[in-house]
Structure 1
Amino acid sequence: MSGGPSAWTSQNTPTAMGTPRRAAGKAVRRGGRSPVRPPSGDHGISVVRSVLRSGSRAGVRFRWRPSPAGRRLRVRSSGSFWSCSWRASFFLLGFLESHRGMRRWNHRIQGKRCRSGSIDSSIGCRHNRYDPQRWNRFRDPRQVAAGESHRYRAGMASNTTATRSPLHDFHLQHGAKMVDYAGWELPLHYGSIGDEHVWTRTSGGLFDVSHMGRLRITGRHARRFLDRVCTRLVRGMAGGQCRYGLICNETGGCLDDVLVYCFADDDYMVVCNGANRVKIVAHFERVKAEEDHRFKMVDQTESTCMCAIQGPKVMELLGAVSTEVPTLKRYRFTVKNVLVMKIIVSRTGYTGEDGVEVILGAKFAKQALGMLLKDVGADDAAVRPVGLGARDSLRMEAGMPLYGHEIDEATDPLSAGLGFAVKLDKGESDAQEGRFIGQDALRKIAGTGSTRKLVGLALEGRRSPRQGMAVLDGDRPVGTVTSGCPSPTLGHPIAMAYVPAEMAKAGETVRIDLGGGTDAKIVDLPFYKRPS
C-alpha cells in the first residue's frame, strides 16, 4: 500500500486504542479484507468522501485537508485525531467492512460494545441493518467474486433467499412460472411444458441456465490441477475446445459432471451443476491445499449470465448475426467481442438438439439477448423461451444424466454409461498427464465389470414412473428408477433405471411398481437421436 510508514499519524491517541493502522492490521490478520486500490486523482477522493460521509452520524468525523504529501483524510473520533492519505482510507474501509472489524471499531472508537454482532456505521448498534455487500460497488468484480468463493468454502450462504438470474425480468415479462431450483429463482414453464418441448425439437428454444457454476481457473498449475481432478485428459486440449468429463472421489463415485473450457494452457473454465457448486469449490480448494497446486480460482457464476439456445433452426438464425458461429464444430467455442461485451459461444447443449450455449457479463445479458434474437418470445418467433420442465424431458429423451438422479457420489461413471468420458490409462504412457482422483478404483471396476447398468425403459399407457420406484422381475425388486416422464416426441412414457448387469439387454421386459405392476421394455439409450 502506498504512503509508506508515515501513511498514518496520530495525535492525542488513547493508549488503549493504539493507532488505526495497528488496529486495522490486526483486523486484517484476523479475517478482515484489504480493499482494492480506488480510482486515482480527484475522482478517487470524491468516492472516498461520499462513502465516509455516513460515518459522521456514528460519532466519527472525516475531513479532507491539503498537505505537502497531497490531500489527506483527517479523522476525528472520541476527542482523538488521525490523518491518512486517501489510499490508506480505503485500507480503513476494508477494516470496517469485515465482521470483526466493524465490532472492533464500534467497541474501541465509540466506546460501545455491540452485543449481537456487526453494525451499520450510520445507525450505531442496529446490527440487523448491516449489509456485508455495501462496499462491493467500489471494488473490482473479480475481488467480489473471490470473496463470495471464500464464503462458500466456509460453508456459509451469502443470503437466505433464492438468487435471481440476470434475465429475471425477462421471464416475468413473458409470463413464466418461477420456482426455486438449486438456490436460484428460475422459470419452470411459460405455458405448456409439452408445447415448449415440441417447439425446441422442431424450431428453437431459449433456456436460462445461469444457475450452472462457472469457475475460472488460471495459473501455471491450472492444467496439471484439472488433469488431477477430471477423468478426461486436459493436457491435450487446444484453445477454443470444450471437453465433457467427471469429477470423482477416491472410490470412483461421481462428485459432478462438468464441461471444461480451454482458453490457453494456463487458462480454463469449469462449468458444473448449480446444486454442486459449493461442493466442487470446496473439493478443488482441498485438493489444491493438500497437493500444493499453484493456481487462482474465481467463481464467476453470479457476475455472468449463461443461456442455451437449442433447436434445428438455431444455427441458421445465428448465422445472420455471425458467420463464425455456424462453422463451429461440436464441443468448440469462440469468444466474440461485440461493442463492450465479451461473449463466449460454445456449440454444446443438454437437449439432444443442435445449438449453442452462451456466457457473458450479467449486466449485458438483456442487451445481448435482444441483439442475438430480436423477436424472441413473439408469437411467430422461431426461438421461444423454454423452462426447466421441458429441459428435463428433452435431456431424458436424449439419454443424458442428471446429477442426483442418474449419477451421485455412490455411482461410478462406468455403471452410468459414461465410460467414454473416463481415460482409465491416464498417466501411464506419459507421466506429465498425471493420474486423476478415483482412477485406481475405476480400473478395478472396469476389470471386474459393473454389477449394475443404466438402461432406458419404454412404457405403455399414460402413467410415468418417478425417481425411487422399484423395477421388478416378477415380484422381486431388482432395480430402481432414476428419472421418468411422458415423452412428447415418442408419445409414451419413458424412464431411466439401474438394473443388474445381466438383465441390461434391449428387448427384456420388466415391471415397474406404479401402485400396480406395469410392464416396461428395456431399450437402448438414447431414446431420441436428432436427424443428421
Structure 2
Amino acid sequence: MSDLQHTPLYGFHLDHGARMVPFAGWEMPVQYTGILDEHTAVRERAGLFDVSHMGEALVTGPEAEKFLDYLLPNKIAGTPVGKGVYSPMCHPTGGVVDDLIVYRLRESEFLLCLNAANTQRDLDWIAQHIGGFDCTMEDVSATYAQLALQGPKAMEILNAVAQTPAGKELKVKRFRIIETELGGIPCLICGTGYTGENGVEIYCHSGHARQLADLIVEVGTPMGLALAGLGSRDSLRLEAGLPLYGHELGDDITPTEGGVGWTVKLDKPGDFIGKEALLAERQNGPKRKAVFYMMADRRIARAGTPVFAGDQQVGEVVSGTQSPVLGCPIGSALVDALADVGSLEVDIRGKRFPITAKQPPLHK
C-alpha cells in the first residue's frame, strides 16, 4: 500500500488500532472495534468518521453562481449564503459524472465537496466547462481535513467540544454551514452527513486535523462516542437509502433512475449540461429505477447479482450488505422501469431468493 495517499489523520488511525484498507487511492480505516459495534454506536449514540479523502474545490468570481447553475441540474441561483445544495453533475447524455454538495460561503464564493474516487475527474470536468464564465476554480483538497460526527448525541458532543454556554448551543440546520471555532480551531460546520442520522460534517485546515480529532475523542468518549470506519459508513448509508456513486449512480445512470430525480430542475432559467437528455427522459419516462430492498434469507446479494421477475431478468443488484440494525441482508437494485417490484427475486449461484422492496430509510 506504499503508493496510497494518506489523510492528515493516518497516524491517529494507527494509534487507535484501526484496520487499514485501500479505498479510492487512499489508505483508510475500514473498522476499529468492528463494523457491527461502530454501526450500532452511530444509530444509538454517536460515531466519528475521517472523511478527509473527499475532494474540495472553490469556485469564485462574479459569475460563479451562473456557472454552477449551468454545470449542475439542481438550482444554485438564489441559494442564500450559508446554505448547501446537493446535486448530481451530469453528462450531456444525462448520466452522472458525480454527485456533490455545493456550499455558498459568500456571495461569489462556493465550496464544492467531491467524492474521493472522482476528485481528479471532477476537477478536470469543471475546468473543461468553466471557460466563458467570469469565475475561477481552485483545487483546495489538500488544504482541508473533514470529520463527520454522526448520531443522536452528535450535537450534544459538538457543543461540549465547543464549550458553548448554556442557552447558546450551536444549532446547525440541515444543509446549512456555519463558520466558528472548536477548541480554538477555525472550522466550517455543515448540517450534512451520510448515515441517515442527525449530525454534522466539520471542515478544518489539514494541519489542525489531529488536534481536533483528539479533542472530539477526549470529550465525546465519556458520552458514548465511537470511532467509525468505512465499513459502517457503507452499511449506514445503505440502510438510509442514500445513493453511492458507482452503485446507484454512474456514467450511464441518470439522476431519476438512481432515485434522486428531485434534484433535476428542468424549469430553472437557462441551459445546463444534460438538460436536453433529462427533458426527454421526463417526457418519455426513465428506462430503469432504483429499488431498495430487504431479504429474509441469510445470504447477501452482492453487486452484480441478477434480479428476476418471473423468468425474465429485469436488472441487477448494485449494492448489498448485512443490516446490523435489522439483522437481515439489505440492498439496492437497478431494474426495468416497468418491472413488478412485488415479485422480484435475486439469483445467487443458481438459486432464487425473494427480495422485498421497501421505501427508504430501511431502518426506520
TM-score, normalised via structure 2 length: 0.94
Shift of 1:322: 5.3
Higher helix residue share: 1
Higher relative contact order (CA closer than 8 Å, sequence separation 6+): 2
Q: Give the equivalent residue in structure 2 for 1:98.
A: none
Q: Are 2:62 and 1:220 equivalent residues in the alignment? A: yes
d(CA) in 2 for partners of 1:356, 1:504: 38
Q: What does 1:101-500 correspond to in 2, within 5 Å?
A: 161-289=3-131, 292-320=132-160, 321=162, 323=164, 326-337=170-181, 341-376=185-220, 378=221, 380-427=222-269, 434-500=270-336
d(CA) in 2 for partners of 1:504, 1:388: 33
Checking the alignment, whether the CA contact within 8 Å between 1:316 and 1:326 is kept in structure 2 is: no
Shift of 1:381: 4.8
Q: Give the equivalent residue in structure 1 for 2:356.
A: 521
Checking the alignment, whether the CA contact within 8 Å between 2:314 and 2:339 is kept in structure 1 is: no
Q: What does 1:6-155 correspond to in 2, within 5 Å?
A: none
Find the residue that maps to 1:256 and give its secondary structure. Answer: strand
**Amino acid corresponding to residue 24 of structure 2 in structure 1:** A
Checking the alignment, whether the CA contact within 8 Å between 1:455 and 1:504 is kept in structure 2 is: no
d(CA) in 2 for partners of 1:280, 1:412: 17
d(CA) in 2 for partners of 1:244, 1:470: 31
Distance 1:325-1:439 versus aligned 2 partners, 3 A rule: farther
d(CA) in 1 for partners of 2:14, 2:192: 27
Residues 87-144 of structure 1: per-residue CA shift (max 9 Å, x gap): xxxxxxxxxxxxxxxxxxxxxxxxxxxxxxxxxxxxxxxxxxxxxxxxxxxxxxxxxx
Residues 435-469 of structure 1: per-residue CA shift (max 9 Å, x gap): 21001110110111112111112111211111111
Q: Give the equivalent residue in structure 2 for 1:10.
A: none
d(CA) in 1 for partners of 2:215, 2:82: 23
d(CA) in 2 for partners of 1:449, 1:348: 31
Find the residue that maps to 1:163 and give its secondary structure. Answer: coil
Checking the alignment, whether the CA contact within 8 Å between 2:309 and 2:340 is kept in structure 1 is: no
**Amino acid corresponding to residue 371 of structure 1 in structure 2:** L
d(CA) in 1 for partners of 2:183, 2:344: 57
Residues 35-66 of structure 1: per-residue CA shift (max 9 Å, x gap): xxxxxxxxxxxxxxxxxxxxxxxxxxxxxxxx
Give 5+ residue unaligned stretches, structure 1. 1-158, 428-433
Checking the alignment, whether the CA contact within 8 Å between 1:248 and 1:438 is kept in structure 2 is: yes
**Amino acid corresponding to residue 114 of structure 2 in structure 1:** C
d(CA) in 2 for partners of 1:170, 1:396: 27
d(CA) in 2 for partners of 1:261, 1:276: 19
**Amino acid corresponding to residue 269 of structure 1 in structure 2:** L
d(CA) in 1 for partners of 2:128, 2:238: 33
Shift of 1:193: 0.7
Shift of 1:370: 3.0
Aligned alpha-carbon RMSD (Å): 1.7
Residues 480-530 of structure 1: per-residue CA shift (max 9 Å, x gap): 10000111111110110012222254xx1221111111111222222124x
Query: Once structures 1 and 2 are overlaid, which stretch shifts more, 332-341 or 462-471?
Result: 332-341
Find the residue that maps to 2:40 and give its secondary structure. Answer: helix
Checking the alignment, whether the CA contact within 8 Å between 1:254 and 1:409 is kept in structure 2 is: yes
**Amino acid corresponding to residue 208 of structure 2 in structure 1:** F
Distance 1:278-1:344 versus aligned 2 partners, 3 A rule: same
**Amino acid corresponding to residue 163 of structure 1 in structure 2:** Q
Find the residue that maps to 2:355 and give its secondary structure. Answer: strand
Find the residue that maps to 1:285 and give its secondary structure. Answer: helix
Shift of 1:318: 1.6
d(CA) in 2 for partners of 1:347, 1:283: 27
Distance 1:339-1:390 versus aligned 2 partners, 3 A rule: closer
TM-score, normalised via structure 1 length: 0.65
Shift of 1:296: 2.2
Shift of 1:338: 5.2
d(CA) in 2 for partners of 1:295, 1:373: 40
**Identical positions, percent:** 38
d(CA) in 2 for partners of 1:188, 1:480: 26
Checking the alignment, whether the CA contact within 8 Å between 1:250 and 1:441 is kept in structure 2 is: yes
Find the residue that maps to 2:210 and give its secondary structure. Answer: helix
Shift of 1:295: 1.8
Shift of 1:413: 0.4
Find the residue that maps to 2:119 and give its secondary structure. Answer: helix
d(CA) in 1 for partners of 2:183, 2:12: 22
Give 5+ residue unaligned stretches, structure 2. none
d(CA) in 2 for partners of 1:339, 1:438: 44
d(CA) in 1 for partners of 2:169, 2:9: 23
Find the residue that maps to 1:503 and give its secondary structure. Answer: coil
Provide the aligned length of Structure 1 versus Structure 2.
359
Distance 1:439-1:325 versus aligned 2 partners, 3 A rule: farther
d(CA) in 2 for partners of 1:339, 1:497: 44
Shift of 1:206: 0.5
Shift of 1:177: 0.6
**Amino acid corresponding to residue 179 of structure 1 in structure 2:** V
d(CA) in 2 for partners of 1:265, 1:224: 12
Find the residue that maps to 2:218 and give its secondary structure. Answer: coil
